Homo-oligomer: A and B are copies of this chain.
Amino acid sequence: MTFRTMEVHPWSLATNTLDKEHKRLVESLTSLGNGYMGMRGNFEETYSGDTHLGTYLAGVWFPDKTRVGWWKNGYPRYFGKAINNLNFARVEILVDGQVVDLAQNEVSDFNLTLDMKHGVLARRFTVHGVKFEVTRFLSLDVKELAAFKWEVVAVDGKEHRVEFKSYLDGDVHNEDSNYEEKFWQTLDSYADNNLATLSIQTVPNPFGVEQFIVHAEQTFAGDFAPVKHQRAADYVVNEFVTSVGAQAKVFEKRVVVTTSRDYLSLEALQAGADKLSQLVQKESFENLLVAHSKKWEGRWQIADVQINGQGDKALESQQGIRFNLFQLFSTYYGEDSRLNIGPKGFTGEKYGGATYWDTEAYMVPLYLALAEPEVTKNLLKYRHQQLPGAKHNAREQGLAGALYPMVTFNGIECHNEWEITFEEIHRNGAIAYAIYNYTNYTGDTSYLASKGLEVLVEISRFWASRVHFSARHGQYMIHGVTGPNEYENNINNNWYTNRIATWVLKYTAQALAQFPRPDLGVSEEELAKWHEIVENMYFPYDAELDVFVQHDGFLDKDLRPVSSLDPVQDLPLNQKWSWDKILRSPFIKQADVLQGIYFFGDQFDLETKRKNYDFYEPMTVHESSLSSCIHSVLAAELGKEEKAVEMYLRTSRLDLDNYNNDTEDGLHITSMSGSWLAIVQGFAQMKTWNNKLSFAPLVPSIWDGYAFHINYRGRLVKVSVDKEFVTLALLAGEPLTLELYGKEVNLKDTYQVNLGVANV
């Protein structure tokens, strides 16, 4: 069941309807971010209807206590949350003394448009005879800057007294606060008629987590006259007034936000904000906007994916991929190695933590291809910095080495379901896989040889202590895990987990042989032990079906396809069924065996891929946002075009069409790379195994063609595909040897192949 609220345009989301019923959904979709901060598409002015206020600052979080009732040894003590931050967008607008409130007023000429090309949110509405046009952006040029402009004009031939009260509001709370506690306290404030500042700090916590300080300063420009200012316990406000007639008047608000993540003291972060504020005050709104927009345009020059075609599906596809890239880059563009990619980015509260395995498993390939290697390296460094936390996690479980957390801000696990925290340990494999991925893609072995090996060795030590030897089988096993398919818990010998654990041990040993690191203290005995595990690992396999078995016991289930379910009574399972029923069922939340086949695609032949795909896909409900893309990639490889397209649309328009009926909570940021994977690794069949770049594109019948860029080992390659030709253009860098449909191509400038010929 899908639901669409915004019109389909190639470069924007727009609507002329003020949809009060789906306000939260629209707010999620119109979120803005610049990697440093972000906000939901909340209206700046008073809105008394249902709304979900959300402004977030990257890396500013709070450890919300979670302990209630029954508890088990080793449970994390808190759940870390990217918390709702001070509401610096807030204004109150009065027209002739009447409060502007779109939930209550009669509104005409409404429009809301998110311009993805330039990163601007624009809104227009007329109330009380006055038309307002609002423009806002979070600057890519000055990351601390949020800028707002209102153009106000009377459309009823009268003169109106219009007042603006501009707030910095620290009285905010998280809707998901476990104990309905406030996470903020006010430290300091200042106001005069021309500016105001507010400094807030997270309240004390018993977990030793840093208390963040956030400071905001607002300044103004335009045609309105300052008349008053006010300081209260939790907010500051500046008031302005003017008379508005047929000639448009402008009110501009600029907010600069600094945090204790970048400054050592309250004084320093206040001074920093002052300085930046003075800087941005010197520039016109238009100049600030141009500087910002140019940066977005620059990103699109490298990253844009064009989809051509006449039908609705082609346009929907086009909007989908751009929306995903826009929101992903709004969340993270790799500038700060202390940050990672939160599952909701800056668009909502759900899932709390900053970092999931999603980053390594689903984001890294995209950032490798669409940004400089440094961006991905920063993601890897993030994990290296958190190695002490990961070692702490392993110790908490009585194990050696490092266990990277399921959810974290600082490396220490903060998710509190044992079946996830203690058991969904396959994540530790993905962390290692990303090191391989970076090294294999870029050809740069320096990270592997230095920090990478430190991480790999500790992950390997974890795996070596986590396996056990089953005397009965004479093989090593891994009991008590949750695989990527979280619809089964505490299972034994998850094929995917056993596979990636074994791979890590092998890869680490190889890397150590290539780049000796005596300082890491890996003895011959330890290496021998790893080797013994690798050679004697048990992998569930069924000879009759000739498939890898998801885990011991899976084939004992009442196996049946998703098509046997009642779409209304039964789906989605996670809303209709109790947990035990889901666990006992054969239905798969997201690719599990297939995830492994995707990761190690060069190690399986097509027949193996097809058999496993045909066995597992029919039982998969794709209720994880991370499922569709992997299935789309594999379906494309297996020539299952229809399925590949279905999965592409699902992944690329997950939020735009609200597939999971939960986008009101925020966007599915960490699955947004999925649509790109589906196009580039799926339809275009880009592969990079063993230092070789290759493509084997196909064009889905709903499209006429598509084009994208790839940043690969210093080259920028444009790949254009239509029904007749595949064209490769080397836009920058040295000539490159690659493979197209299995044929070697030496790309110097432009190379074109006629599909009619190539596909034979």
Residues of A within 8 A of B (CB): 64, 66-70, 72-75, 79, 178-179, 396-399, 415-419, 422-423, 468-473, 477, 479-480, 489-490, 492, 552-553, 555-559, 574-581, 583-584
Contact = CB atoms under 8 A, between A and B. Distances in A.
B479 A557 contact: yes
Contact of A579 (B68, B74, B489): B74
A66 B69 contact: yes
A501 to B, nearest CB: 14
A423 B580 CA distance: 7
A630 to B, nearest CB: 24
B480 A178 contact: no
Tallying the copies of this chain within the complex gives: 2
Q: Give the interface SS of chain A, mostly helix, strand, loop or mixed.
A: loop
A396 B581 CA distance: 11
Contact of A553 (B416, B492, B558, B583): B492
Contacts of A66: 68-69
Nearest to A583: B480
B480 A580 contact: yes
A246 to B, nearest CB: 55
Given A553-B479, A556-B472, A557-B479, A577 B398 contact: yes
A569 to B, nearest CB: 10
A212 B131 CA distance: 58
Contacts of A579: 72-75, 418, 422
Given A480-B584, A584-B480, A558 B473 contact: no
Contacts of A577: 73, 398
B477 A556 contact: yes
Contact of A472 (B179, B490, B555): B555
Give 9 closest A-B pairs by Cβ, nearest first.
Answer: A74-B578, A422-B580, A72-B579, A490-B490, A468-B558, A397-B578, A480-B584, A68-B68, A68-B178
A356 to B, nearest CB: 14
Contacts of A68: 66-68, 178-179
A393 to B, nearest CB: 10
A272 to B, nearest CB: 35
A70 B579 CA distance: 13
Contacts of A178: 68-69
Contacts of A422: 578-580
B74 A556 contact: no
A166 B581 CA distance: 56
Contacts of A75: 579
A479 B555 CA distance: 12
Nearest to A416: B69
Given A68-B178, A398-B578, A579-B72, A557 B418 contact: no
A410 to B, nearest CB: 18
Contacts of A73: 574-579
Contacts of A399: 581
Given A74-B579, A178-B68, A578-B74, A553 B553 contact: yes
Nearest to A468: B558
Nearest to A75: B579
B492 A489 contact: no
A556 B479 contact: yes
Contacts of A469: 558
Contacts of A552: 552-553, 556
30 contacts: A64-B69, A66-B69, A67-B68, A68-B68, A68-B179, A69-B79, A70-B417, A73-B574, A73-B575, A73-B576, A73-B577, A75-B579, A397-B578, A397-B580, A398-B581, A418-B579, A418-B580, A422-B578, A469-B558, A470-B557, A470-B558, A471-B558, A471-B559, A472-B556, A477-B556, A479-B556, A479-B557, A479-B584, A489-B490, A492-B553
A66 B71 CA distance: 12
Contacts of A468: 557-558, 584
A757 to B, nearest CB: 48
Max chain B Cβ within 10 angstroms of own Cβ: one of A416, A575, A580: A580
Contacts of A415: 70
Given A468-B557, A577-B398, A583 B490 contact: yes
Contacts of A553: 479, 492, 552-553
B556 A492 contact: yes
A469 B479 CA distance: 25
Contacts of A558: 468-471
A123 to B, nearest CB: 35
Contacts of A477: 556
A547 B56 CA distance: 59
A160 to B, nearest CB: 46
Nearest to A423: B580
A489 B479 CA distance: 12
Max chain B Cβ within 10 angstroms of own Cβ: one of A179, A396, A473, A479: A479
Contacts of A575: 73
A402 to B, nearest CB: 15
A397 B553 CA distance: 22
A581 B580 CA distance: 22
Nearest to A65: B68
Nearest to A489: B490
A397 B70 contact: no
A462 to B, nearest CB: 13
Given A398-B577, A492-B553, A553-B553, 8 more contacts: A68-B179, A70-B417, A72-B579, A73-B574, A73-B576, A473-B556, A479-B584, A480-B580
B472 A70 contact: no
A199 B581 CA distance: 46
A621 to B, nearest CB: 14
A398 B552 CA distance: 26
A666 B555 CA distance: 46
A142 to B, nearest CB: 37
Max chain B Cβ within 10 angstroms of own Cβ: one of A396, A469, A558, A578: A578
Given A489-B490, A581-B397, A70 B556 contact: no
